[in-house]
């Protein structure tokens, strides 16, 4: 059944890739990853017919899967070469996790909501992506056991960059994170240079709040 659904959705996925290319996504590795990962399997069945629209969709537990153009822009900014070790904060649906598994050598992903993590892990098992490790826990603590990482992607809005991320990223490594309040943020790219972070402002964004010890508590 999955194979039949996969074949049925091939055309819409190709059209999405073409749309993203027209919108300015030039990184062929990112476009290839979006062409390879079946987004419809990462969204609830009730909205599956909208899987290849360029729009955010609800995935339950008050969370959403970002629109594909956001994922594409996010990943293009990192300029991954394929040999990196990447930490993802906020597994969510697991869709971006799967994209990262195509683009990087190893992916470590943290999710705080058990139901989301269980669903994402099962979907990724079905789709056959293997170079991914999952952790249920507080994403603001990072994952010290496997640090340092070449890139850290934070999929929720925070008031500031947690010191744990700076400690767990390699020299020259990148941290991509939305900073602001609970409603609106600005996406920033930070590059570690010694004990300092070099900052680049990217664009205004809106993400769900990052909850944890070093971010918004008790939401």
Which residues carry out catalysis? 66
155 touches 92 (CB < 8 A): yes
Q: Output DSSP code: residue 26.
A: -
The rounded distance, in Å, linking the Cα atoms of 17 and 15 is 5
154 touches 87 (CB < 8 A): no
202 touches 188 (CB < 8 A): yes
Encode burial over 174-188: b for 16+ CB neighbours within 10 A, e otherwise: bbbbbbbeeeebebb
């Amino acid at each position: 059944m999955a194979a039949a659904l996969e074949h049925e959705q091939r055309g819409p996925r190709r059209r999405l890739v073409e749309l993203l290319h027209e919108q300015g996504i030039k990184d062929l590795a990112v476009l290839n990853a979006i062409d390879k990962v079946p987004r419809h399997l990462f969204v609830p069945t009730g909205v599956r017919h909208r899987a290849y629209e360029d729009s955010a969709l609800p995935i339950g537990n008050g969370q959403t899967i970002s629109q594909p153009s956001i994922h594409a822009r996010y990943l293009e900014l990192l300029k991954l070469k394929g040999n990196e070790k990447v930490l993802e904060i906020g597994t969510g649906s697991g869709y971006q996790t799967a994209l990262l598994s195509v683009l990087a050598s190893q992916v470590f992903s943290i999710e705080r909501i058990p139901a989301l993590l269980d669903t994402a892990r099962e979907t990724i098992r079905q789709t056959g992506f293997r170079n991914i490790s999952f952790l249920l826990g507080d994403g603001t603590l990072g994952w010290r056991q496997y640090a340092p990482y070449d890139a850290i992607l934070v999929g929720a809005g925070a008031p500031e960059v947690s010191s744990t991320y700076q400690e767990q990223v390699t020299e020259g490594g990148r941290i991509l994170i939305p900073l602001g309040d609970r409603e609106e943020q600005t996406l920033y790219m930070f590059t570690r240079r010694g004990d300092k972070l070099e900052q680049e402002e990217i664009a205004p964004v809106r993400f769900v709040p990052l909850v944890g010890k070093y971010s918004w508590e008790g939401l």
